[in-house]
């Protein structure tokens, strides 16, 4: 997906937004876009939605940075029917992805607190 030519306003992910749902982060990563709303996490690839799960549907996220290579972002959903996503993140997108991961991490942490105690570390 050429991020310079993607019309995000017409991408299928925009049509899935619920009334009142807001996008908190949209990061083109070269092969897809990482979309974080106030309700969910999605990976939008070309003209399709590769992943679209609420925060509680996230099992694990891993962000690996290697010297002289694009970073790798892996999103593993809780349910096996949802396919894990692997995104190559170019250096110029590290800060945007880190910001999106902060939003996701805070939501996951707060969900753990709402389940009867502090989240395990």
Supply the pLDDT for residue 119.
46
Token pair for residue 48?
A: 């399709």
SS (H, E, C) 9-64: HHCHHHHCCCCCCCEEEEEECCCCEEEEECCEEEEEECCEEEEEEEHHHEEEEEEE
Find where tokens 């009867």 sit. Answer: 116
Query: What are 9's two structure tokens?
Result: 């306003």
Q: What was the pLDDT predicted at 21? A: 93
- Contacts by 83-87, CB closer than 8 A, 24 or more apart: 83/50, 83/51, 85/32, 85/43, 85/50, 85/51, 87/29, 87/30, 87/31, 87/32, 87/34, 87/43
The rounded average pLDDT for each run of 10 residues, N- to C-terminus, in the chain (121 residues) is 60 86 91 92 88 96 95 96 96 96 95 60 44
Domains of the chain: 8-113 (2.30.29.30)
pLDDT for position 116: 54
pLDDT in tens, 96-120: 999 999 999 999 999 877 655 554 4
Per the CB < 8 A criterion, the answer to whether 35 and 25 are in contact is yes
Among 16, 52, 21, 47, which residue's Cα sits nearest to residue 34?
Answer: 52
């Amino acid at each position: 997906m050429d991020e310079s030519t993607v019309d995000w306003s017409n991408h299928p992910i925009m049509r899935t937004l619920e009334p009142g749902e807001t996008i908190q982060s949209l990061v083109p990563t070269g092969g897809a876009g990482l979309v974080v709303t106030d309700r969910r996490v999605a990976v939008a690839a070309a003209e399709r939605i590769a992943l679209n799960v609420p925060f509680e549907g996230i099992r694990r996220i891993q962000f690996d940075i290697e010297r002289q290579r694009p970073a790798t972002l892996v999103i593993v959903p809780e349910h096996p029917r949802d396919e894990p996503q692997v995104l190559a993140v170019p250096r110029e997108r590290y800060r945007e992805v880190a910001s999106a991961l902060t939003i996701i991490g805070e939501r996951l942490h707060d969900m753990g607190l709402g389940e009867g105690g502090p989240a395990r570390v």
